[in-house]
Amino acid sequence: MKRNLNDKKFSERLIRMRSIPTGTPLHKSLIQATEEVTGSDDFMCRSRHRRLVHARQVLMCAARLSGCTFEACSLFAGLYDHTTSSFAWGKMKRHHKLKADAHAAYNRSKEILAQRELKFAEGIKEMAEAAKADLNVLEDQKPLVGEKKPENVRP
């Protein structure tokens, strides 16, 4: 069977698309921030209603502001073609409402990520303190009568 040049380009594109990390904290925070800013929570569908299109464009522009490629921005919005995010990026320069919403979603997503990092750091700190407390309890225990101390296994 003869392979077409387009097949190779298509397969390379699929490989690139699969390497883009969706479901990451950045992606989740951008979606949450877009939902908060636009008030739409169903913008991942294929509908072309104005408010849903606006919400998808806000998500793609906010993703672009965070440093993602156009291809990644499109995948974050559930689309497969980077031209949609490129169009949204160009439209953002002309429409003030889209620009304001995209910057608000981007800033809110940074706040969400900072809160998650803080919670994570607090959780690590609590785990370390609990482990120290457990070690202190073990050190404070006196050996039972007749129990031998374990020999040092280090050379």
* pLDDT, tens digit (0-9, with 9 covering 90-100), for 52-89: 999 999 999 999 999 998 988 988 888 888 899 999 99
pLDDT for 40: 86
Q: Among 4-13, 86-95, 103-112, which is the least confidently predicted range?
A: 4-13
Phi then psi for 11, rounded to 5 degrees?
-70, -35
DSSP string over the chain = -PPPHHHHHHHHHHHHHHTS--SSHHHHHHHHHHHHHH--S-TTSS---HHHHHHHHHHHHHHHHTT--HHHHHHHTT-S-HHHHHHHHHHHHH-HHHHHHHHHHHHHHHHHHHHHHHHHHHHHHHHHHHHHHHHHHHHHPPPPTTPPPPPP---
Tens digits of residue pLDDT in 7-18: 666 667 666 666
Per-residue pLDDT, 153 = 65
Read off the tokens for 50.
């104005």
- Give me the pLDDT at residue 90, please: 95
pLDDT of residue 75: 86
- 3-state class percentages of the chain: helix first, strand second, coil last, to nearest 5: 70, 0, 30
Percent of the chain at pLDDT above 70? 75
Model-wide pTM > 0.75: no
Across 19-28, 57-66, 113-122, least confident range: 19-28
User: If 0-12 CB within 10 Å is exposed, 13-18 middle and 19+ buried, where does residue 99 land?
Assistant: middle
* 55 token code pair: 């919400």
